[in-house]
Amino acid sequence: MYSRTRVKICGFTRAQDIDAAVQLGADAVGFVFYPKSARMLSTQQAVALRAHVPAFVQAVSLFVNAPEGFVREILEQVQPDLLQFHGEESPQECRRYAHPYIKAFRVGAPGLDTVDSLFEQCMKYPDARAWLMDGYHDAYGGTGTAFDPALIQGLQLRLRSQEGLPPLVLAGGMRIDNVADRVALHRPYAIDVSSGVELEPGVKCPAKMGQFMQMLSEASRN
C-alpha cells in the first residue's frame, strides 16, 4: 500500500490553471496532443505552458496513435518528463523514443473486458512507468467515463503475485464526490483527473481542484 495517492491533473490550456494546480499540490500536469480533443494544444501553446511547470512537478504529454514525427517534435520543443500513450500504440511504438512513458488502457473495450485480457495486455508493457486505467468510450480520455471496478480489483489480485511491475493510475470519471470511495476501494498509486475539475473542457476550476485535492488527501490518510 502506498503512503500517499499521487495526482495528475490533465488537459490544461491556461497558465493560471497550472499555477493553481501546482499550489494545490498536484504531482503532475498533463498536456493533450490529440486533434479530436477540445483540450488539444499547439506546440507553441504547450511550450508556453511548460514554462509554468516547476521543479518536482512532472509535465506529461498525451498522444493517441500520433505520427512518430509529431511525438518527436513535442519531445524536442516541449521537453515533457513523461509521454502518455492513450491509443493502440504497440510496445515497440512506445519504446522507440527511449523516453519514460505511461501506457493507458480503456478498461471494458473489446479485448480489455475481462481480467485475463486486461492483465495480458498490461504485461506487454512491463517497462512503462505506470499503467493507466481509463473508462471505455469511443473517444479517448477526458470523457468522464468510469470503468467497472470489479475488473480493476481482479487485475490488482493478479498483480499482487508479481514483482517489479508498473504501478496503477486510475482515471475515468474521477470527481470530487467519488474520489474518496475510489481510493478506499483500490488504493492506487495515483489518480488522474480532467473533466471532474473543470468549468468547461480545458478550463480548470481552482475551487474544484482544491476540493478534489482535499478529498484525495483525506482519503489517502484513512
17, 94, 134, 192: the catalytic one is 134
pLDDT tens digits, residue range 135-172? 866 555 445 456 788 999 999 999 988 889 999 999 98
10, 17, 94, 122: the catalytic one is 10
- The cell numbers describing 57, all together, are 512537478
Which residues is 198 bridged to in the sheet?
204
* pLDDT grade for 108, boundaries at 50, 70 and 90: confident
**Residues 59, 216: Cα–Cα separation, whole Å:** 20
In this prediction, residues 23-52 reach a mean pLDDT of 97
Residue 97 has pLDDT above 70, yes or no: yes
User: How much is the pLDDT for 146?
Assistant: 66
Is 134 among the residues known to form the active site?
yes
List phi, psi (to 5°) of 98. 50, 45
Residue 55 CA: distances (Å) to CA of 22, 50, 51, 96, 182:
10, 11, 10, 26, 29
Residues 6+ apart with CB under 8 A from 123: none
User: How much is the pLDDT for 109?
Assistant: 87
pTM to 2 decimal places: 0.92
Residue 39: Cβ within 10 Å count = 22
- Polymer length in residues for the chain: 222
Alpha-carbon Rg for the chain in angstroms: 16
User: How much is the pLDDT for 136?
Assistant: 67
Mean per-residue pLDDT of the chain: 92
pLDDT tens digits, residue range 188-219? 999 999 999 999 999 999 999 999 999 998 88
Cβ pair 219, 4 in contact under 8 A: no
- Between strands 198-200 and 203-204, the pairing is antiparallel
Residue 38 CA: distances (Å) to CA of 11, 82, 142, 211:
9, 21, 9, 24
pLDDT tens digits, residue range 60-96? 999 999 999 999 999 999 999 999 999 999 999 999 9
User: How much is the pLDDT for 22?
Assistant: 98
Is 17 among the residues known to form the active site?
no
